[in-house]
Structure 1
Amino acid sequence: MTSEEKTSLLEGFKAFLTRGNVVDLAIAVVIGAAFTQVINSVVNNVINPLVGAFGTSNLDGYRLCLKGPCVADAAGKVSGVYIGWGAVLGAVISFVATAAVVYFLMVVPMAKYLARQATREKSTMKEAVQETIEVTELVLLKEIRDALVAQGGPGRVSP
């Protein structure tokens, strides 16, 4: 690889990194990672205790034994074949809680904000169009007046 190709590759990579999309994506990943802690806290400290009121707050313990004996030894290793449906249910609850929090705390407020912005922008554009129409009508009327005066000849009174 020549020196020119290396420089070109580095310049291309720099241009790629400095584009807005890459920076926005990096910010979203960092915020998403921080937001995950908030969601995990909500799930562990609110959702799981509510589920625990009807059973246990640790859903990982719920299993279905397919082929026995499904017994745990002293080391915690389970013999037999089982399906850990409690862990799946916990993951589903965590996902639904995450989706709900994101929707109600981020998507809905942002949609309302964008709708308000669009309404403001439409009214501003409507006012600008109305002003343009009024100015255009005034110019047109002046041109009609001037054309009538020009056609009227010397006996007409000019404005």
Structure 2
Amino acid sequence: MLKGFKDFLMRGNVVDLAVAVVIGTAFTAIVTAFTTSIIKPLINIFGGAETKGLGFSLRDDTQALKDSTFIDLSSLINAIINFLIVAAVVYFVLVLPIKKIQDRRKKGEEAGPAEPTDVELLIEIRDLLAAQAKQEPPTPTMDRRDPAI
């Protein structure tokens, strides 16, 4: 049961799907930061909202209007950095080791030493029997073809 589960997990599709979910979650942070930091201030030109951070204002009229039209680049930069860190960690901690394991399985490096062939085994048995025959004197055996017995 556990071997089947392990085989299921080691298929490339499941691992790739898990990586895609993690990277997709991190990418969602970039999209959210983009919309709240750049798109939202463009819309806020016509309305009012308060945001502060690294960026610039679209208008310098009043403080209330300045706050609502402020393009906050800091949260976008933070989201990009977050995405790059998550993607790098997932790649180096999960994807590369799993890929190396799958490559080893394909190459057969984990198979171990090759088993001897039938001919090699028979030659080894013959040599052992010949060595035994030289060491021990022959023992008398009953021959069933002998009519005297």
- TM bracket (short chain): 0.3 to 0.5
TM-score (ref. length: structure 2): 0.36
User: Would you tell me which structure has more helix in proportion to its own residues?
Assistant: 1
Largest Rg, 1 or 2: 2
